[in-house]
Amino acid sequence: MNAIYILWLRELKRYFRSPLQVAVSLAQPTFFLLAFGFGFSPVFEQAGHGSYLQFLAPGMIGMTVLLSAVLSGIAMLWDRQFGFLKATLVAPVPRLYVMIGRTLGGATVGMVQGVLILLICIVAGFRPQHWIAALSAFVFIAMIAISFAALGTTMGSVIKDMQGFQLMVNCLLMPMTFLSGAFYPLSRLPKILSLITIINPVSYGVDGLRGTLVGLWHFSYLLDIFYLGCMTAVFLVMGAYSFSRIEI
């Protein structure tokens, strides 16, 4: 169990080693929040849907947690290149413990970024329906972070070069984000897009955050929890299997 704690702590130190790194990691979601939140707000209000910032903020929180958690898999590529991964794998510690420690570290970083972007949203003018709702939303932040940190571990175990990892992120995760309802309502979409959003696990994370924070549900609380729980289990199994197959 000490190995899990050490690897978890190492991922946190990697993230917090520079205040500039923390600020840069929040730059993209902050830009999306301000540019889209205030840029499209008049159009959204004219359509009778209220404040676009209120609608967009939960999506930005979900997107930040998702990308931060998945990108933790890049650390595995660096560790592979500089030999730390090999030293970890030959240590007398079960590989499952190593995988859990790395995944929890990446998930914790994702949760921290989710909380930070929530604070930025509040400064920008976002207001949850109840302040206690922020605590309820943390359940969805944690589930998104854990599931996609496990997916990042899977990708880092299978992909051996940085270019391939970035390509996978662009080809897989960006469509998942844009087809999750983070930027627009999921109602009245074409049938093919509706089908994709139903399959997409990010849709349920964003819906859970939006429902708990502002009271707008597309699915339901129980369905969001159930689907995210199932996908978290699937991604954790995938991560454990892929990590166990890494060749030294």
202 neighbors 176 (Cβ within 8 angstroms)? yes
Instruction: Tell me, rounded to whole angstroms, the distance of Cα 244 from its chain centroid.
Output: 23
* pTM of the predicted model as reported, rounded to 2 decimal places: 0.90
Q: What percent of the chain has pLDDT over 70?
A: 96
pLDDT tens profile 186-241: 888 888 988 999 999 999 999 999 999 998 899 999 999 999 999 999 999 998 88
| Radius of gyration of the chain measured on its C-alpha atoms | 18
Among all chains, which residue has been given the structure tokens 């499209």?
40
- Identify the three-state secondary structure at position 51: coil
Confidence of residue 2 (pLDDT cuts 50, 70, 90): confident
Residue 160, CA atoms < 13 Å, CB-side half-sphere? 3
User: Which of 176, 164, 243, 239 minimizes the C-alpha distance to 205?
Assistant: 176
The H-or-E segment that residue 127 falls in is none
- Say how many C-beta atoms besides its own lie within 10 A of residue 123's C-beta: 9
**Taking 90 as the threshold, does the pLDDT of residue 143 lie above it?**
yes
- Over residues 84-110, the pLDDT tens digits come to 777 777 777 778 888 888 888 889 988
Show the DSSP H helices in the chain as ranges. 2-16, 19-25, 27-39, 41-46, 52-71, 74-82, 84-89, 95-124, 133-158, 162-168, 174-178, 191-199, 201-214, 221-244
Find the domain containing 117 and state its range. 2-244
Please give the backbone phi and psi of residue 206, each rounded to the nearest 5 degrees, phi first: -65, -40
Coil, helix or strand at residue 128:
coil
When divided into structural domains, the chain yields a total of 1
| CA 227/CA 76 separation, integer angstroms | 28
Res 142: pLDDT:
93
> Of 116, 117, 124, which Cα lies nearest the Cα of 37?
124
Residues 80, 81, 87: CA angle, nearest 5 degrees: 45
pLDDT digits (tens, 9 = 90+) for 60-82: 999 999 988 888 888 777 777 77
pLDDT (0 to 100) of residue 9: 77
Cα–Cα distance for residue pair 147/230, rounded to 1 Å: 9
When comparing pLDDT for 90 and 39, which is higher?
Answer: 39
Q: By the 8 A CB rule, do 126 and 209 touch?
A: no
